[in-house]
Amino acid sequence: MYFVRYKKTFVLGIIFILLSNIGQVYIPQLIKQGINAIEKNAVPEAVLKFVLLIALTSLLAGVFRFLIRQTIIVTSWKIANDLRYDFWNHLQKLSLRFYQNNSTGNIMSHATNDINAVRSFVGPSVMYTIDNGTKFLFVFFIMLSMNPLLTLYALLPSPFMTLVVYYVMSRVHAKYTKIQEKFADLTARAQENFSGIRVIKSYGREDYETENYMYESKEYLKRKMDLVKLQAMFIPVFLVIAGLSFIIVLWSGGIQMIEGNFSIGELVAFYAYLGMLIWPMISFGWVATMIQQAEASMKRLLKILNEPYEIQDSVTTDYNIKEIHGQIEFKNVSFGYAANLPPVLKEINLKIEKGNTVAFIGKTGTGKTSLVNLIPRFYDSTGGEVLIDGVNVKNIPLQTLRKNIGMVSQENFLFSDSLANNVIYGLNGTSDNAIEKAADIAQLSKDVESFPKGFETILGERGITLSGGQKQRSTLARALAIDPKILILDDSFSAVDTNTEEEILRRLKQFMKNRTSIIISHRISTVKDADKIFVVEEGRIAEEGTHEELIELNGIYADLNKRQLLEEELSEMD
């Protein structure tokens, strides 16, 4: 597929290979003629002619060699580049589910090792295969024309060579795969260990982890040596078989020479040709390994590249929808993460009016996050439909949909960039004003004042160098900066003190006029002012209404209120 794009260059490259091989194959002929000339006691000038011809031919062949690399190898980098681009483009379109089920290390190894293996195939392997294949044919026919019997003798051992290659290769592959797997394990383990180092340190598990790593590394060593046992046979076997060819030529050629049917020049040329044949045969084994690796890698890449886009625009997408007003409706929505898992959401029916603030409250793991994830289509519902402004979200262009939703997810992720760039991440182009405004609402400004570099502070990986609350408020500011029509806050105040939370909520109220907002929280104090509160219980909406209505109802919410009230009252009694 990628070959087609660079068809012309490849054809050109192959022509260069042919040309340079003709040159290379011609050189031993010149050597032969030169030596024959010496044998016949020719004048030095005659010899000189051949000598100069050798140098000239070699120069020409060299120029073509240069061009081969400039076409084929260069193209291989271009193809790798294209492949990586397509791979990344594809990754960006894969849904959350993919990322929850595949580890980062795993995806990274595809993007690096596998693409690399494919490139080695496209470049060096293709180059050497064609190069050696044609060279082999040329040489074979020239040798045949020079001395058929000797050629036959000389090549007698080579079928063994092919056999050995076949035997070794068929076993190398499995072993190689096992080594790769272990190496991936080593990488993944190190990655997890270093990411979770705080936990490991606080529970004193360093020695245990090191021991585990020792175990894995030993296994890696074992598998490596398993392969080496096999691979180490390669060179000696080739050595013997190839050497055998030389010996046969010397022996049988020698006899023919004694009988006067063969000249020294021819012997030398034969030696040179054999030398040319040996290398292709050795490299054949090497190329075969690369091809096998590339094949395995391509298979892995294709597995990802063929991964369907779960969430994308479809034929029913209405591109006339350019903006979103913010009315949201769930109609009989049900949702499950996988067919073999119990459904997480069941028959959800709810309506959120444009400009309203609604809240979701409910126990840990009842499906609040799952529910709001359906709105920006991080997942699609498995039953029923989610509507925005009366249109099924699946029919709204994904870009339009997401550009209008500001979502602060429960897990906060920040890039290792400056704080400012993190806040304006969702904007195209900069605007200091936006930063200030968003930071003010999110109550980030005070913290930033205390940073020596202010907004230009560079954050550690995932925002490691911020306090928990600072991280959370930075992601909040990031969502506010895009000026969203719908704002979703998934437990976004869990690491923020009540005082600051209160401040934020007060400013948000102002900001959210004419916008729809959805707040998930465990705290009554956060949700009580909402226009409507939904109580989620085991994947269903158990109760809905305003704070007062729900208290009146005397159900789950009222109970929850009592629980939090009880604490408060206790404290009041003190």
Partner 1 sequence: MAEQREDEILGKAYDSKLMKRLLVYIKPYKMYVIAAILFNILVAALGPLRPYLSKVAIDDYIMHKDYNGLLLIVGILFASLVIQAVVQYYLTYFTELMGQKIIYDIRIQLFSRVQKLALKYFDRTPVGRTVTRVTNDVDALNEMFSSGVITVFSDIFMLVFIFIFMFSMSWQLTLVTLAVIPLLFYATFLFRKKVREEYRNVRTHLARLNSYMQEHVTGMNVVQMFAKEKQELEKFSSINDDFKNANIRSVFYYAIFFPFVELLSAVSISLVIWYASGEIIQGILTFGVLTAFLQYIEMFWRPVRDLSEKYDILQRAMAASERIFNLLDDNTMIKNPDTPVILQKVRGEIEFNNVWFAYNPGEYVLKNVSFKINPGETIAIVGATGAGKTSIVNILTRFYDIEKGNITLDGIDIRNLNKRDLRKHISMVLQDVFLFSGTIKSNISLGNSDISDQQIYEAARTVGADKFILNLPNKFDEEVKEKGATLSVGQRQLISFARALAYNPQILILDEATSSVDTETEQLIQNAIEKLLVGRTSIVIAHRLSTIQNADKILVMHKGELKETGNHQELLAKRGIYYRLYELQYKDQEITKTA
Ligand X SMILES: Nc1ncnc2c1ncn2[C@@H]1O[C@H](COP(=O)(O)OP(=O)(O)OP(=O)(O)O)[C@@H](O)[C@H]1O
**Residues in 397-436 that interact with Mg ion by CB under 5 A:** 410
Q: Which of these ranges, 8-16, 393-401, 416-424, 466-474, lies near ligand X under the rule CB under 6 A?
A: 466-474
Helix axes 7-39, 44-68, angle to 10 degrees: 160
Q: Which of these ranges, 24-32, 51-59, 412-420, 463-471, lies near ligand X under the rule CB under 6 A?
A: 463-471
Exactly one of 245, 357, 404, 470 binds ligand X (CB under 6 A); that residue is 470
Output the six-digit token pair for 269.
């040329």
The whole-angstrom distance between residue 225's C-alpha and the CA centroid of its chain comes to 29
Residue list 347-386, contact with partner 1 (CB under 8 A): 362-365, 369, 376, 378
Residue list 514-553, contact with partner 1 (CB under 8 A): 522-525, 528, 547-548, 551
Is 160 a residue that touches partner 1 (CB under 8 A)?
A: no
Output the six-digit token pair for 299.
């298979």
Is 498 a residue that touches ligand X (CB under 6 A)?
A: no
What helix, strand, coil percent values describe the chain, rounded to 5?
Answer: 65, 10, 25
Residue 551 CB, shortest distance to ligand X, in Å, is 22
Residue whose CB is less far from partner 1, 244 or 350: 244
Exactly one of 266, 447, 543, 544 binds partner 1 (CB under 8 A); that residue is 447
**Phi and psi torsions of 321, nearest 5°:** -75, 110
Q: Is 361 exposed, middle or buried (0-12, 13-18, 19+ CB in 10 A)?
A: buried
Residue list 128-157, contact with partner 1 (CB under 8 A): none
Residue list 365-384, contact with Mg ion (CB under 5 A): 369
Residue list 367-426, contact with ligand X (CB under 6 A): 367-370, 410
Instruction: Judge whether 267 and 257 are in contact, CB under 8 Å.
Output: yes
Exactly one of 41, 89, 92, 100 binds ligand X (CB under 6 A); that residue is 100
Residue 490 CB, shortest distance to Mg ion, in Å, is 6
Residue 226 identity: D
Instruction: Judge whether 540 and 368 are in contact, CB under 8 Å.
Output: no
Considering CB distances under 5 to 8 angstroms, the limit depending on partner class, which of Mg ion, ligand X, partner 1, none binds residue 66? Answer: partner 1
Is 342 a residue that touches ligand X (CB under 6 A)?
A: no
Is 494 a residue that touches Mg ion (CB under 5 A)?
A: no
**Phi and psi torsions of 543, nearest 5°:** -145, 150
Pairing assessment for the beta strands 532-537 and 357-362 based on DSSP bridges: parallel
Residue 399 identity: Q
Q: Residue 263 contacts by C-beta under 8 Å, 6 or more apart in sequence?
A: 32, 35, 36, 39, 257
Helix axes 264-305, 148-155, angle to 10 degrees: 50
Q: Residue 140 contacts by C-beta under 8 Å, 6 or more apart in sequence?
A: 151, 155, 277
Residue 335 CB, shortest distance to ligand X, in Å, is 9
Q: How many residues bind ligand X (CB under 6 A)?
A: 21
Considering CB distances under 5 to 8 angstroms, the limit depending on partner class, which of partner 1, Mg ion, ligand X, none binds residue 140? Answer: none
Contacts with ligand X, residue ranges (CB under 6 A): 100, 337, 341, 344, 362, 364-370, 410, 465-470, 491, 495
Contacts with Mg ion, residue ranges (CB under 5 A): 369, 410
